[in-house]
């Protein structure tokens, strides 16, 4: 019995430590690299630890570029009103956010996504934002 309790306590500690081990937005994204573009939703990846929305636009050279827009955790976004079907493949959206510090990365953080009709689907992942619906 004592071994089972010790094992249970160890598992609980490991899980709780893992929940607090998270990266800082400032560690990955650069405040001096804002970006705004309009593109078409290619995919929405609704999974832990963050959701990603893939949006295709044209680069400076006119060739297609697919950016990965990082959102918050699915559960937190759900509580804010975000749903898996809030965006659909083929929707035209405008994205404003921060480029990754790594110039080769196509990740965008601290993003706002606005649909063609002006509905704000996603505004970053900071607490206090209005529900997305």
Using the structure block, give the residue that is written with the tokens 């006119």. Answer: 62
Percent of the chain beyond pLDDT 90?
29
Instruction: Name the pTM for this structure.
Output: 0.71
Domain region containing 81: 24-123
Portion of the chain with pLDDT greater than 70, in percent: 70
As a whole number of angstroms, the distance between CA 37 and CA 56 comes to 10
Residue 15 placed within a domain: no
The per-residue pLDDT for range 80-92, each reduced to its tens digit, is 788 888 899 999 9
Cα distance between residue 91 and residue 116, in whole Å = 8
Q: Which burial class, exposed, middle or buried, applies to 39 when counting CB atoms under 10 A from its CB (0-12, 13-18, 19+)?
A: buried
Q: Is residue 3, in this structure, part of any structural domain at all?
A: no
Q: Which of 31, 4, 42 is nearest to 110 (CA)?
A: 31
Q: How many domains does the chain have?
A: 1
Spatial neighbors of 132 by CB under 8 A, at least 6 apart, are 77, 80, 81, 82, 86, 120, 121, 122, 123
Residue 18 domain flag: no
- With respect to residue 83, please indicate whether it lies within any of the assigned structural domains: yes
Rounded (5°) CA angle 120-125-40: 45
Q: What is the CATH number of the domain that holds 113?
A: 2.40.50.140
């Amino acid at each position: 019995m004592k071994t089972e309790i010790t094992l249970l306590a160890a598992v609980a500690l490991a899980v709780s430590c893992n929940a607090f081990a998270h990266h800082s937005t400032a560690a990955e994204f650069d405040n001096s690299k804002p970006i705004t573009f309009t593109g078409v939703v290619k995919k929405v990846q609704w999974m832990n630890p963050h959701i990603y929305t893939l949006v295709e636009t044209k680069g400076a050279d006119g060739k297609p570029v697919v950016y990965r827009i990082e959102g918050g955790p699915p559960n937190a976004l759900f509580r804010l009103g975000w749903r898996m079907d809030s965006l659909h493949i083929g929707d035209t959206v405008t994205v404003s956010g921060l480029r990754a510090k790594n110039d080769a990365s196509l990740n965008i953080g601290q993003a706002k996504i606005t649909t063609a009709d002006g509905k704000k689907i996603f505004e970053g992942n900071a607490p206090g934002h209005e529900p997305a619906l």
